[in-house]
Amino acid sequence: MERILTPFIQLCLISLLARLGYQMARSPVLPRFAQDLGAPPELIGFILAASTITGVVGKLPAGAFSDVLGRKRMLTLGAFFFCGPPFLYPLVEDPIGLLLLRFLHGFATAIFSPVATAVVADLFQKNRGARVGWFSASGEMGSACGPMIGGLLLASTHSFAATYLLVGAVGLLPMVLTSTLPLPETSTPEETPLGDRWKQFLAGIREVIRDHTILIASVTEAFMFLGVGALVGFLPLYAKDRGLSDVDVGVILGMQVASAMLSKPLTGRLSDRVGRKPIILLGLICCAAILPLVTLVDTFFTLLVLCMIFGLGTALVTPSTTALVADLCRAGRHGAALGVFGSIWDTGEALGPIVAGFLVVGLGYTQAFTMITLVLVLGILLFALVVEDPSRR
């Protein structure tokens, strides 16, 4: 019987549903649940960041293991972490238990993200940027809808347990779809000794981390997400100080995500046509120009326009850098390369609100955002001078 879904479309659907359930569990339900358990504000911050920390640690080995054990096996493992941990939330009775569970739940994206992106890189050499853009946009669509649905569930059930059980039910869908995903296995044959597989795993990591162009491209993405983390973390507080309502802030941040999501398929395709490097530089310059301007305006419409342009800047960068990293390594190392990329990216995203918090307290919003912009400018110069574009060779 002829398949209705191609492997790529099915993978995008899996990403959408997985991210939907993951974000339903996170916002706004998670901070409310942590507060209900008696967690103080500083511990709530760690609980919110726990899953990202798991990503920093887990993405590199997850991607590299997929090169050795096969993409399908690792995708299935990642799908399990999307559906399994949500059923444990109703059993949590204290903030420390919730913190530990969030570390566990973080393995979902830590495993799935680099491996699924490696699958896209494996499937497409031509038009790779466009395909990465579509895949990224599908995940962001789930991420954008998740908080709204999670909030509605909590409001209608008035129960954290019921909400998380429904999150687990949503998480079962990616598990089912992953089990039927038709992918050619890229693993070592079953008769290969375990010691040889371990050597291949370590060799893949060593090969990737010795490639300075992959590392610089990854660090450049992290610099951009340092700014993204700062903006998302502190725009609500800045806007509140300027008299904007929570609804205004929600619309501004929502439109920033929508701008990025809708643009990524187009920007990825553009990088296929004109080259990765010019599109990445254009996006980085756009983000660097917008970030300090945000703290110089105080009206809803102006902040909305600036944040939408910032979203467009991130959309220019992310599909192109992801495709660039895949271009820079040989096919058998896509998992390791994208694992390194994801770990470094998550480091920047996790540090963004932390660094911005210290700078805002010491310098104020304008100087804090300007300092972060200067770091991004250094990243732009490093990328422009060192990284070559393999798609233009």
Q: How far apart are CA 158 and CA 38, in angstroms?
A: 18
Q: How far apart are CA 278 and CA 326, in angstroms?
A: 17
Q: How far is CA 189 from CA 67, 69, 159, 185, 392, in A?
A: 12, 9, 48, 9, 36
Domains and CATH numbers, the chain: 1-185 (1.20.1250.20), 200-388 (1.20.1250.20)
Determine the pLDDT at residue 106: 92
Residues of the chain scoring pLDDT < 70: 1-4, 41-42, 184-208, 246, 330-332, 389-393
Angle value at C-alpha 18, between 17 and 19, nearest 5 degrees: 95
Q: Identify residue 201 by its one-letter amino acid code.
A: F
Cα distance between the two ends of the chain = 42
Instruction: Kindly report the backbone phi and psi dihedral angles of residue 175, in degrees, each rounded to the nearest multiple of 5, phi listed first.
Output: -60, -45
Q: Which two tokens stand for residue 267?
A: 């920007």
Sign of CA dihedral 268, 290, 343, 29: negative
Determine the pLDDT at residue 156: 87
Nearest to 201 by CA among 347, 108, 339: 339
Determine the pLDDT at residue 189: 46
Q: How far apart are CA 231 and CA 323, in angstroms?
A: 25
Nearest to 20 by CA among 156, 155, 172, 159: 172
